[in-house]
């Protein structure tokens, strides 16, 4: 629907396919939030022009944690390649006044501008939201930041872990008698915010189609991180109760935890929410005498005996392969899951393999490896990620192709050190 409307309004010079084909995105995104927002739009067909500079490269262009790549190249880092698929790269010095015609031309060209700088950064560079609206009244500007564009903390600096701490998530992570735990196995906000941004962009496109007006989208990682604390917030507002760290346990389930399986560092997670699930678990365990205690038929009784229950379950799980334990429990209707490693997920997980969680993309330097796509599948128009761009590979295309500059004008801009 959007692609047909947008194409009718002028379309894109390239011939991308997908539900967002014809959507034009000017991407100032960097690191993860901004990069992934642009990636998801591009993977679904939008033409995305990524604005960056070799003089101050994105952190993912120099991050060598996942590669034996060189220290000098900006084009061979898996981290960058992974979060910047389906884009073109414009390497440009935003502080060079000679670059203004290029950026202002792209603002006029774009349907969507994506950025996640510290609030006020684009204003300082001379590209405020007001200027963008004057240049392009239909523009949709999506700004992602830690705290949002307004409020007393708007200009404070932070990362995903900062949002996790201040939102209250860390306060409830860990064990009651120990310090709060900062999860280091994954990044939450940086991956959730881009999906929220995508939803907001779709809503703004619908509004523009109906009312002919652009929109400024202000997304806050802090607020998005706080969303998962809704039960704790409700508990405090309604009852005045401050929830506490409980380790692997939760107030409304028992048992709820991670149990050792056969082998070294092998585990299976089990969660029992209802009395019926407890009865099913008891059957899988073989109805041992300790599990047949009538007091355990209720949640209150199981909560009072969690230590004893967990010991009994562990005695059973450690005799089994972790996958066997999971399948036996699932077959009986007991929620259970293997604690998998990254290697398990990449190499052997049949569900993610079936759904192409890791979409193979052939990078010109790194070769082919699996890239994550958005965690949804469109039946008629699935995502088709293309390799991430080399630094500045689209300079000529943007200047002479999109914006119609002559070859002489392009050479002049090169001489003025605009593209760097």
In this structure, the chain runs to a length of: 420
- Residue whose C-alpha is closest to residue 82's, from 398, 385, 412, 397: 385
Would you state the structure tokens that stand for residue 417, as one six-digit string?
A: 């050190």
What is the tens place of the pLDDT at every residue in 174-210? Answer: 999 999 988 766 678 899 999 999 999 999 999 999 9
pLDDT attached to residue 7: 35
CATH topology of domain 267-338: formyl-coa transferase, domain 3 (3.30.1540)
Q: Residues 163, 222: contact at Cβ < 8 Å?
A: yes
Start-to-end CA span in the chain (Å): 38
Q: Where in the chain is the domain with CATH 3.30.1540.10?
A: 267-338
DSSP-based three-state secondary structure for 221: helix
Max avg pLDDT among 162-166, 178-182, 336-340:
336-340
Question: What is the C-alpha to C-alpha distance for residues 56 and 216, in angstroms, rounded to an integer?
Answer: 27
Q: Residues 412, 419: contact at Cβ < 8 Å?
A: no
Question: H helices of 44-84, where?
Answer: 78-83
What is the tens place of the pLDDT at every residue in 71-129? Answer: 889 999 999 999 999 999 999 999 999 999 999 999 999 999 999 999 999 999 999 99
DSSP-based three-state secondary structure for 367: strand
Tokens 């405090």 sit on residue: 236
Phi-psi region at 395: left, alpha or beta (left = phi > 0; alpha = psi -120 to 50): alpha
**Does residue 251 carry a pLDDT above 50?**
yes
- Residue whose C-alpha is closest to residue 88's, from 38, 129, 138, 123: 38
State what percent of residues in the chain have pLDDT above 90: 87
Would you state the structure tokens that stand for residue 286, as one six-digit string?
A: 């073989």
- Return the C-alpha torsion angle 325, 326, 330, 334, nearest 10: 80
pLDDT attached to residue 10: 35
What is the tens place of the pLDDT at every residue in 140-151? Answer: 999 999 999 999
Would you state the structure tokens that stand for residue 314, as one six-digit string?
A: 């562990």
DSSP E strands in 256-405: the ranges are 256-260, 267-271, 336-338, 358-363, 367-372
pLDDT attached to residue 164: 85
E strand or H helix at 354: helix 350-354
Q: Where in the chain is the domain with CATH 3.40.50.10540?
A: 2-226+358-415
Q: Does domain 2-226+358-415 have CATH number 3.40.50.10540?
A: yes
Quote the pTM value: 0.92
pLDDT attached to residue 64: 81
């Amino acid at each position: 629907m959007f692609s047909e409307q947008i194409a009718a309004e002028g379309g894109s010079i390239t011939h991308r396919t997908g539900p967002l084909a014809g959507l034009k995105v000017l991407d100032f995104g960097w690191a993860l939030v901004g990069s992934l927002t642009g990636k998801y739009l591009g993977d679904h067909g939008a033409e995305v022009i990524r604005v960056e500079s070799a003089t101050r490269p994105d952190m993912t262009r120099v991050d060598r944690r996942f590669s034996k790549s060189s220290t000098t190249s900006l084009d061979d880092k898996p981290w960058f390649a992974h979060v910047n698929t389906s884009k073109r790269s414009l390497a440009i010095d935003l502080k060079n006044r000679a670059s203004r015609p290029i950026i202002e031309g792209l603002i006029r060209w774009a349907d969507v501008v994506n950025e996640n700088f510290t609030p006020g950064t684009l204003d300082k560079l001379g590209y405020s939201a007001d200027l963008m609206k004057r240049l392009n009244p239909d523009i949709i500007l999506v700004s992602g930041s830690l705290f949002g564009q307004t409020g007393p903390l708007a200009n404070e600096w932070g990362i995903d872990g900062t949002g996790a701490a201040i939102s209250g998530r860390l306060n409830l992570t860990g064990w009651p008698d120990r310090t709060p735990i900062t999860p280091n196995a994954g990044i939450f906000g940086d991956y959730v915010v881009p999906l929220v941004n995508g939803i907001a962009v779709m809503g703004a496109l619908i509004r523009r189609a109906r009312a002919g007006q652009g929109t400024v989208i202000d997304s806050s990682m802090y607020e998005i991180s706080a969303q998962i604390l809704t039960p704790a917030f409700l508990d405090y507002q309604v009852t005045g109760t401050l929830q506490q760290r409980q380790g692997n346990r939760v107030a409304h389930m028992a048992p709820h935890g991670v149990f050792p399986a056969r082998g070294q560092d092998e585990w299976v997670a089990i969660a029992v929410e209802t009395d019926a699930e407890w009865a099913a678990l008891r059957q899988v365990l073989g109805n041992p005498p300790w599990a047949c205690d009538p007091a355990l038929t209720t949640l209150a009784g199981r909560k009072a005996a969690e230590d004893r229950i967990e010991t009994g379950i562990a005695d059973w799980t450690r005799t089994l392969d972790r996958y066997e334990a999971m399948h036996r429990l699932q077959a009986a209707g007991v929620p259970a899951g293997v604690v998998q490693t990254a290697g398990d997920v990449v190499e052997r997980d049949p569900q993610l393999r079936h759904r192409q969680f890791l979409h193979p993309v052939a990078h010109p330097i790194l070769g082919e490896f699996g890239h994550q796509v958005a965690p949804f599948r469109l039946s008629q128009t699935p995502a088709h990620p293309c390799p991430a761009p080399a630094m500045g590979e689209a300079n000529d295309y943007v200047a002479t192709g999109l914006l119609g500059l002559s070859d002489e004008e392009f050479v002049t801009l090169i001489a003025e050190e605009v593209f760097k």
